[in-house]
A and B are shown apart, each in its own frame.
Chain A
């Protein structure tokens, strides 16, 4: 099955979602990320969604759940690159991604992850 690649940079894991994800692919990413946090002893996860032109409730839930799982595994998650139209739609849909840290782009997201604590 198709998988979304996860890159490691030091103790950070970096994911750029560039395909229109179906639900199984989203769940596979969640599983892969949690496994890699443990295997690579990662303390931060950066998820870049700048190429995603929609985030529906399923993908939104996958992202919040992943952030919650990462937190339990002692890793911080930052979501970066959300398009304005996606943000507007998400809030109208009723999804506010509470508990997920966000940054405007990869550079700012990396800075957040590099801060201690």
Chain B
């Protein structure tokens, strides 16, 4: 491990696109998100929450979406700075979103905290899914100035 990390990452400006095909990719994504949050000066607690949310959603993309990719981007608003993550897969999609968002519900042997937990840990949460067409989850965390 370690020597392949650059080949898999596409960076342009404030955006990175990372593949989510293996367990190791999830670890690389956590590191990338952490690096961005540290660079922007997020507190340790905010970093921990966002990296944990990223880990949950990356695992979902891998396990339930059949793999996909993560887009990590830095956002700049008028008076605040943030990190936005998008998790994109072309998997089976989620037929019953309300059920999937329920604490403790799982279709695949997990704890059922991935989506609902990530929503609680992030400041913004949005999910687009359609059966047969895949799922995109977007989360963002803002640093107040």
Q: Which of B44, B48, B59, B111 has the most CB of A within 10 A?
A: B48
Question: Chain B, 1-26, contact with A by CB distance < 8 Å: what is the 0/1 string?
Answer: 10000000000000000000001101
Q: How far is the CB of B143 from chain A (nearest CB, A)?
A: 15
Whether B26 and A22, one on each chain, are in contact in the complex, defined by CB atoms closer than 8 angstroms, is yes
In the bound assembly, the distance between CA atoms of A109 and B56 in angstroms comes to 29
Secondary structure dominating the interface of B: helix
Whether B59 and A58, one on each chain, are in contact in the complex, defined by CB atoms closer than 8 angstroms, is yes
Tell which of B34, B49, B111 touches A89, judged by Cβ atoms closer than 8 Å.
Answer: B49
In the bound assembly, the distance between CA atoms of A21 and B30 in angstroms comes to 11
- Closest Cβ neighbor of A60 among chain B residues: B111
Tally chain B residues at the interface, Cβ within 8 Å: 27
In the bound assembly, the distance between CA atoms of A112 and B34 in angstroms comes to 34
Tell which of A22, A55, A94, A95 touches B27, judged by Cβ atoms closer than 8 Å.
Answer: A22
- Closest Cβ neighbor of A85 among chain B residues: B48
Query: Chain A contacts of B31 at CB under 8 A?
Result: 20
Question: Chain A, 9-42, contact with B by CB distance < 8 Å: what is the 0/1 string?
Answer: 0000000000011111100000000000000000
Does A86 lie at the interface of the complex (its beta carbon under 8 Å from any beta carbon of B)? Answer: yes
Whether B48 and A95, one on each chain, are in contact in the complex, defined by CB atoms closer than 8 angstroms, is no
Does B68 lie at the interface of the complex (its beta carbon under 8 Å from any beta carbon of A)? Answer: no
Query: Chain A contacts of B121 at CB under 8 A?
Result: 89, 92-93
Tell which of A2, A23, A54, A61 touches B111, judged by Cβ atoms closer than 8 Å.
Answer: A61
Whether A57 and B113, one on each chain, are in contact in the complex, defined by CB atoms closer than 8 angstroms, is yes
**Partner-A contacts on B (CB < 8 A):** 1, 23-24, 26-27, 30-31, 34, 44-45, 47-49, 51-52, 55-56, 59, 103, 110-111, 113-114, 116-117, 120-121
